[in-house]
Amino acid sequence: MYHSAAGRLCSALRDVPALCASSLRQQPHHSPARRRTLSPPVLGSLASLGCCHSLAGWVGDSSAKAPPTPGTAAPPAGGAAVSAPRSVCSMGNSTSRLYSALAKTLSTAALPQDYLEQPEHDQPDPLDPKDLLEECQVALQGRPSRLHRELVSQVDDFRSPPSFRVMQWNILAQALGEGKDNFIKCPIEALNWDERKYLILEEIVINRPDVLCLQEVDHYFDTFQPILSRLGYQCTFLAKPWSPCLDVEHNNGPDGCALFFLQDRFQLVNSAKYRLTARSLKTNQVAIAEILQCKMTGRLVCFAVTHLKARTGWERFRLAQGLDLLRNLESLTQGAKIPLVVCGDFNADPTEEVYKRFASSSLNLNSAYKVLSEDGETEPPYTTWKIRTTGECCNTLDYIWYSQHALKVNAALKMPTEEQIGPNRLPSFTYPSDHLSLVCDFSFNTDPDRLL
């Protein structure tokens, strides 16, 4: 949208392969029993990314969903964890320092809030999905197996209308995880970006969403955009105007919200970006909303992603932000004539007023994860569970809201148990974020006006 000098400079910065050329990851060494060979064409295309985060690919047919399965292999026999030697860009490399300095300079200028928006690019070369999963498994072979979660179906008739999958996830900004969040039970090695990024990508690949909504994304340009675009996604990013990541030394730039959709399933009709307000005052929180047309049914759906203000004591502030977002979405969807799916970390539990306003709004929204409860009216007991210096926090803060008159929840990814999460909580060696991902399959109601 904006093509300012700052935007062009950011674009040019992303295309400096010389800064990362010496940091391309080497092929890991491992035992013959675990040896894998990646095809030369894929390796060549990975290197063409021009940066250290050389991953790409996609697994399976998105139209044929299957329950997630464990994706990582166990450590080698003998119990010793073997780390594959890798040389990769860290948060403190020259690219990060240059990007950080530029971002800090820009953050003080009078620029639009999406000054880091991705410019249009030619369609990237597609990459083999199986190699992405294989790369993840090789990189993570020294870690315990990932958390296994079951997909719980709500549909008895498997001949039901075609569904689409939505994934919501606060992935934990790297700068915040290492520099601000103080996860006192999480080993610092578990937060190492060189491996943590593979856990994030593995979670995305195994769940195979048609629409992916992420918060706390501070590695958009060097990781998620180049990789996911080659998986067939169209990518949109909106940075926070005053991201707290910029306060951390050797950061990778500001964090923000990102929305991705598979271009073989949906077509973009309209896109909007919002800097949320509270009582007419612009805040540091943002939202992205895109109206997409389903290529299988021709139906329109509006997808939105947001991240409201955190911390206790800011309940009224979050309410104001939520009401502002609802007003914008009501206008964009023409008063709910276009079905809506809103994903986000609301930083609000179900007792907060902002939650209640979403549940009672004129947009006729319902929270998708209530389908997992026995009564169909209760949220999960937690979507985040962590231990900080201030104590243990176990809360439900993340939601997928949907237009219940037009859409139906066909399946949802079950939350892991307390035993699976472990006594040290999140993040950990088995899970890369302090927030759990939410995954739902939706289908269109045959009579969308029946509940209006």
- Cα separation of the two ends of the chain: 35
Q: With beta carbons less than 8 A apart as the criterion, state whether 79 and 23 touch.
A: no
Helix (H) or strand (E) holding 325: helix 315-332
Spatial neighbors of 360 by CB under 8 A, at least 6 apart, are none
Quick one: CA dihedral 405, 411, 412, 418, positive or negative? Answer: positive
Q: Of 75, 49, 19, whose CA–CA distance to 132 is shortest?
A: 49
Question: Widest CA span of the chain, in angstroms?
Answer: 63
CA distance 199 to 187: 16
**Alpha-carbon Rg of the chain, whole angstroms?**
21
Q: What is the DSSP letter of 305?
A: E
Q: What is the pLDDT of residue 422?
A: 96
Copy the structure tokens of residue 44.
């060549």
Q: Which tokens is 374 given?
A: 């026995």
Give the pLDDT score at 157: 65
Angle of helix 5-14 versus helix 94-107 axis, rounded to 10: 170
Q: Report the alpha-carbon distance of residue 26 to residue 119 in Å, rounded.
A: 30
Output the pLDDT for position 159.
60
The Cα–Cα gap between 175 and 217 comes to 10
Residue 239 forms beta bridges with which residues?
256
Amino acid letter for position 391 = G
- Tell me how many degrees the CA angle 447-451-452 measures, rounded to the nearest 5: 105
Architecture per CATH, 134-444: 4-Layer Sandwich (3.60)
Nearest C-alpha neighbor of 1 from the set 291, 302, 238: 238
Helix (H, G, I), strand (E, B) or coil at 32: helix
Question: 407-413 and 151-153 as β-strands: parallel, antiparallel, unpaired?
Answer: antiparallel
Whole-angstrom Cα distance, residue 417 to residue 424? 13
- Which residue type sits at 288? I
pLDDT of 387 reads 97
What's the one-letter identity of residue 210? D
Strands 211-217 and 340-345: unpaired
Residue 35, burial from CB neighbour count under 10 angstroms (0-12, 13-18, 19+): exposed
Give the C-alpha separation, 336 to 122, whole Å: 34
- Report how far residue 385's alpha carbon sits from residue 349's, in angstroms, rounded to the nearest whole number: 13
**CA atoms of 207 and 223, how far apart (whole Å):** 18
State the SS3 of 341-371.
Answer: EEEEECCCCCCCHHHHHHHCCCCCEEEHHHH
**pLDDT per residue over 254-266, tens digit each?**
999 999 999 999 9
Look at residue 63 in the predicted model and tell me its pLDDT. Answer: 39
Nearest residue to 343 (alpha-carbon basis) of 209, 204, 167? 167
- pLDDT tens for each residue of 45-92: 333 343 333 333 344 343 344 444 444 444 433 333 433 333 333 344
- Which segments in the chain show pLDDT lower than 70? 1-122, 157-160, 447-452
Question: Which residues are CB-neighbours of 158 under 8 A, at least 6 positions away?
Answer: none
Is 382 buried (19+), middle (13-18) or exposed (0-12) by CB count in 10 A? buried
pLDDT digits (tens, 9 = 90+) for 188-203: 999 999 999 999 999 9
CA dist 311 and 285 (Å) reads: 13
Domain locations along the chain? 134-444
